[in-house]
Amino acid sequence: MSKIQLPEAELVRRTFIVKEVDLPPHVRMTKRSLLRWFALSSGLISEQESRQTVLDVLDALLYFHLSKKTTPSTKEIQSYIREKTQEEISEKLLRYHLKRLLDLNFLVRDKQSYKFNPAPNADPNDLVASFNYWISQGVHSSTKNIENALGDLTKTYL
């Protein structure tokens, strides 16, 4: 049985998943719990997620970007994760997680390396500004379009 695609499906540019998640003080106590919270609230993982790979990828990207001030390649990210977790991550799985961040425009690829996409006119290390520009702005724009469509839809029933 084949799936029927909605005619409007071709209009989709990006998908944002933003979850309203409480941020209690104990979550702020460790880097790992903040990574989990960020990944959960930004839709990178689900509530039932048992795999931690995306957290390792985020950790590596943040380490290279903020601590080392470099843009890592996939090999460098794999090496960092291997050293930190004593586990291998396949290049295919790594590229899957990187692509998810690339699709959100929160990450960009520069030749063979990856970096957080800086917001225009902001400090390249200001990830909050980057998130606000590339993610929040998209969510806000989508919300406005939904409001406009709902307003138009309401008028069709009057």
Q: Give me the tens of pLDDT residue by residue for the chain, a chain 158 residues long.
A: 667 788 888 888 888 888 899 999 999 999 999 999 999 999 898 888 777 899 999 999 999 999 999 999 999 999 999 999 999 999 999 999 999 999 889 999 999 999 999 999 999 899 999 999 998 888 999 999 999 999 999 999 99
CB neighbours of residue 80 within 10 Å: 20
d(CA 37, CA 104): 18
The β-bridge relationship of strands 113-116 and 107-110 is: antiparallel
Angle between helical axes of 53-62 and 74-85 (0-180°, round to 10) = 110
Q: What is the pLDDT of residue 1?
A: 60
Q: What's this model's pTM, rounded to 2 decimal places?
A: 0.85
